[in-house]
Structure 1
């Protein structure tokens, strides 16, 4: 395998692939913010003609920032078929692995203590918030005992802890809550997140301390 060689090209040398299947104009500002904060650490991959193989978003962000030159890896060793496949594969590869939420939460917590700008991580603002919709089979709180439809259905096991769980959500930091849920699943050999949540709700209702 040949060693990679990184060179620097002026932005005017690059040309975008007109059939790029990625829609990224909405993400240019975010990428520009990341590059401004961290530097241009991931080279663009391009043909010697200047045609971009991978890195359209980084290229657009560089233009927005007014950069003069950016790093590039030349991919003349790839056939046209390989290049077409590589464009798809390199973007899709981000979905091949999953986050370990417990470890990710700890890493993010450490960044928070260092006052790091978490916006640079690129997560949606709700990513770390544990939603009740994710774990419960009812989207809204169960009807009060006086509601006319309260006797029209069989009570579900998730109903009994719904209000208590909402209190847990207020009591606990969202990231810590994920960690506690994972601890319960590991300690009690529980596989279903809903079951672990019910244990957590029971602890809260019985006033067990959640550290």
Structure 2
């Protein structure tokens, strides 16, 4: 297996977007990417070849340009053939779509972020998606048949060593 390890900051104007990039980026997504760049920095590098052709990261580049970022982190994938480059451009975008979410864990993570005062919009989820996630947890709580009042009416019993 060949790995790519060379990392470099590259002038954003040197980067050449792939002319046949089938992946589209609407204004809303670019706004989300811009917010992400402001909050987290440019932590996911652009993948390029030695001629500065972009293989992955087109949306991040668009957002970075709008943010006035002059240099972006890049990783060279110079071990790929021309056919592999074309295939990677498609594969990088398509394979991410096959991933799913464990919605219960996602709701827990979102709730923890909310409790920490973090802006949940910076996660990339929109307001309705976040509301749906919180409804998952509230549905579970509504189905709980535990009667707090009845339990509090019962006498408390403890013995030496319980505490």
Pair in the same fold by TM > 0.5: yes
Partner of 1:9: 10
Partner of 2:37: 35
Instruction: Please state if 1:177 is matched with 2:133.
Output: no
In structure 2, runs of 5+ residues without a counterpart are: 149-163
Deviations 1:22-66 (A, max 9, x none): 110321111011011000001000111111110000101110111
**2:4 touches 2:76 (CA, 8 Å); kept in 1?**
no
Q: What is the TM-score when the length of structure 2 is the normalising length?
A: 0.80
Q: Distance in 1 between matches of 2:147 and 2:126?
A: 27
Matched length: 146
Q: Distance in 1 between matches of 2:127 and 2:113?
A: 15
Partner of 1:143: none
Partner of 2:116: 114
Q: Which has the higher contact order (CA 8 A, sep 6+)?
A: 2
Compared with structure 1, are the counterparts of its residues 120 and 102 closer, same or farther at alpha carbon in structure 2 (3 Å cutoff)? same
Q: Distance in 2 between matches of 1:112 and 1:74?
A: 37
Measured on the aligned residues, the alpha-carbon RMSD in Å equals: 2.3
In structure 1, runs of 5+ residues without a counterpart are: 132-172, 182-196
Compared with structure 1, are the counterparts of its residues 3 and 87 closer, same or farther at alpha carbon in structure 2 (3 Å cutoff)? closer
